A = this chain, B = another copy of it.
């Protein structure tokens, strides 16, 4: 399950994408517009800034904006920053591989086999869908 944190982060990113090149946005405005607790949002934005997704300025006329154009920011990046690896089991993660302690033989582990497929399928979507894609493309909603 996506945490609130990641959900808020995505919402913020989309909001900033809609304001892209229209000047910086105040945390307060963002929080109010997307119904996100302001103080919580602060933490989220700082993390996204540290990872190069957002840009910010202090003081008068300051605020937050995207550090890159909306078609260069992918949902997978944002989710990994805020929720950690996409993989359902760590032994199948590319960005944060860790061997399962109780695993006797990784090569024959059925769970690993299947979860690797799942990981690849979700990464395939989330690492190719940019903010711009999600906003503009009419993604065919399967039923």
Contact = CB atoms under 8 A, between A and B. Distances in A.
Interface in A5-43: 7, 10-11, 14, 34-36
Classify the secondary structure of A's interface with B.
Answer: helix
Interface residues of A, number: 39
Contacts of A122: 118, 121-122
Given A89-B7, A111-B10, A113-B139, A126 B134 contact: no
Stoichiometry (number of copies): 2
A24 to B, nearest CB: 22
Contacts of A10: 110-111
Interface of A: 1-2, 7, 10-11, 14, 34-36, 75, 84-85, 87-90, 100, 102, 110-111, 113-118, 120-122, 124-126, 129, 131, 134-135, 139, 141-142
